[in-house]
């Protein structure tokens, strides 16, 4: 499902990009064999793509979450923000790379409770943080920490929300079309 573009963004490509954007696009092409459509739109303003990449890489490397937890966070933020592109992309990553259990992935996509209580606590708190724009109740923070997470994980969620804000909002504005790699994970209309 592609949303109608709200503005006309000329995407950055390997042919027209310069500087850091060109380096990111080439590295992505080399690593994945394609450049996600989203990257081109974010690359139309270099700081958007470079900010996204910095936040994304730091979240993956430094936030202290396992790969399944990382996808739980990214999918929860994208669901709250209504980003069908990122939901499909992270569903593919969750399934093929991060090994999120099938029942957890289905629950994340449906917005229903996860059977794994710790992953469920993570999904719930991430949605709370996104919906409440970083203003959870003290009891909500306490419940998250009681589930086995630490203060650094709360900050990791902030970082993921910042990262997904770049991508989710750009996709809304651009009406980003799903890349073929993500199409099998498109949400049903």
73: which 2 tokens? Answer: 């966070």
Distance CA 133, CA 144 (A): 16
Q: Which residue has the higher pLDDT, 180 or 2?
A: 180
CATH number at 19-185: 1.20.1290.10
CA dist 110 and 79 (Å) reads 9
pLDDT for residue 3? 78
According to DSSP, residue 7 is labeled S
Instruction: Write the pLDDT tens digit of every residue in 4-13.
Output: 889 999 999 9
The two structure tokens encoding residue 53? 């990449």
Those residues with Cβ within 8 angstroms of residue 109's Cβ, 6 or more apart along the chain or in another chain: 75, 79, 87, 91, 187
User: In percent, how much of the chain has pLDDT > 90?
Assistant: 96
pTM of the predicted structure, to 2 decimals: 0.95
Structure tokens, 116: 């794994």
pLDDT at 2: 56
DSSP for 109-160, written as a single string? HHT---SSHHHHHHHHHHHHHHHTTT---HHHHHHHHHTT--HHHHHHHHHH
Residue 41 in tokens: 């739109």
**182 pLDDT more than 60:** yes
- Two tokens at 154? 């709360």
At 91-120, the pLDDT tens digits run 999 999 999 999 999 999 999 999 999 999
């Amino acid at each position: 499902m592609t949303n109608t573009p709200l503005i006309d963004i000329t995407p950055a490509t390997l042919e027209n990009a310069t500087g850091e954007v060109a380096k990111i696009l080439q590295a992505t092409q080399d690593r994945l064999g394609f450049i996600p459509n989203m990257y081109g739109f974010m690359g139309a303003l270099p700081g958007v793509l470079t900010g996204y990449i910095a936040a994304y890489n730091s979240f993956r490397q430094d936030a202290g979450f396992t790969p399944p937890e990382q996808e739980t966070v990214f999918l929860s933020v994208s669901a709250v923000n209504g980003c069908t592109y990122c939901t499909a992309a992270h569903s593919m990553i969750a399934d093929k790379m991060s090994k999120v259990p099938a029942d957890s992935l289905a629950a994340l996509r449906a917005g229903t409770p996860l059977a794994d209580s710790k992953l469920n606590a993570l999904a719930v708190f991430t949605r709370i943080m996104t919906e409440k724009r970083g203003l959870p109740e003290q009891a909500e923070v306490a419940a998250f920490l009681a589930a086995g997470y630490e203060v650094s994980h709360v900050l990791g969620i902030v970082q993921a929300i910042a990262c997904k804000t770049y991508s989710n909002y750009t996709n809304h504005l651009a009406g980003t079309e799903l890349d073929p790699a993500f199409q099998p994970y498109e949400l049903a209309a």
